[in-house]
Amino acid sequence: MGSFFTCALLGLCLSFLLLPVSSQFRIPPAVEELLGPVAVNFTFNDTDPDHSNIIGGRPVTPPDKYQFLVALSNPEWAAQRRGQFCGGSLISSRWVLTAAHCCDVFPTIEVIVGAGDLRDPTQGTAVNVSSIILHPQYNARTMSNDVCLLYLSRYVTSFAPIPLDTGLYARARTPLTVAGWGDTNASFAGVVNPPVPMEVAVAVVDTAECNSSPAGYRGAVTSPEMMCAGFITGGRDACQGDSGGPLWVTTFDGSPKVVGVVSWGYGCAQPGLVGVYARVATFVPWIQSVTGISVPAEEGGGETPTVDEEGGERPLALSPFAVSGQSDDDGSPEGDHPKELEVLVGNPMTLLP
């Protein structure tokens, strides 16, 4: 996933000043020490037309198909792809789930819901972020607990959020989808961030296999809050710029559940080095304690298919998922107000009034 997908991020990295800021990235120090620096070609070419997909994937059609997929934007970069630098998941009408490493850089963040084509400023709804809430155990060195909650300045009720997986769909070989506006070039020979989101089908990789495969992570994926997804043979992955975005399952009834948050990787789509994600199920209690969102217990009723190492395409169509709950006086669903944020997370960084 982007050279160390923390990488995916935006990157503030080291000495890679030849790249525009939105195309740079940083590498988790603990993993770089274990595996060494990533050998990549950093020659930037924004005119190279030979890149049409997220690594091994395809464009989302129509671009605003997944209503829960949001773009994180730095308003100061608005002239360039609307300032997009990370992705996120709309998990209620007031809350966005993303990666912690997407939340500790800029003093001001906007969320573009229904962004679709970043070339069209009329697509989607831009919403200010009122508060950034990092997971209290987030560790930038190891990338453990790489999750963050964004509290929006107003409700967005015309877009369908995605419910949270509580553990049923994080089993090895479960087929999943990841999407975002990140780099489509695995070699970094010409960093290309597409104007429309891309999607790719991947599968959960057992953590032991993720750590022990030849040319793999050598035990770097040690935290139970992390999960691996992709294919050991390589070829399909998220990449830099996709950080914070959703990794989700399409359940037996056609509805989505977010299983992971794009976190980091060592290069993109390389054999033995699959993408590493924050495992959503382990954070459900924390998310509930902060947001008050109701997360129903998983229901049975259908087997989630598994895939072999060769992968293969699968249906990606989703059914709309409505916000549940009673209405407050302002007509907005209950459960979307922050609960004692000062007590839970100290003093959240307030970005905008």
CA distances from 18 to 25, 43, 239 (A): 12, 8, 19
**Contact assessment for residue 183 and residue 138, using Cβ atoms and an 8 Å cutoff:** no
- The one catalytic residue among 243, 263, 332, 336: 243
Three-class DSSP category at 117: coil
Three-class DSSP category at 256: strand
H or E element that contains 85? strand 84-90
- The one catalytic residue among 101, 131, 223, 332: 101
- The one catalytic residue among 146, 165, 183, 242: 146
Q: Give the integer Cα–Cα distance in Å for 10 and 225.
A: 22
Residue type, 288: Q
Q: Give the integer Cα–Cα distance in Å for 176 and 246.
A: 10
Q: How far is CA 6 from the centre of its chain?
A: 11
101 is catalytic: yes
Q: Give the integer Cα–Cα distance in Å for 347 and 160.
A: 30
Q: Which of 324, 242, 301, 303 is nearest to 277 (CA)?
A: 242
243 is catalytic: yes
Q: What is the DSSP letter of 120?
A: -
146 is catalytic: yes
Tokens of 179: 């999407």
Catalytic residue IDs: 101, 146, 243
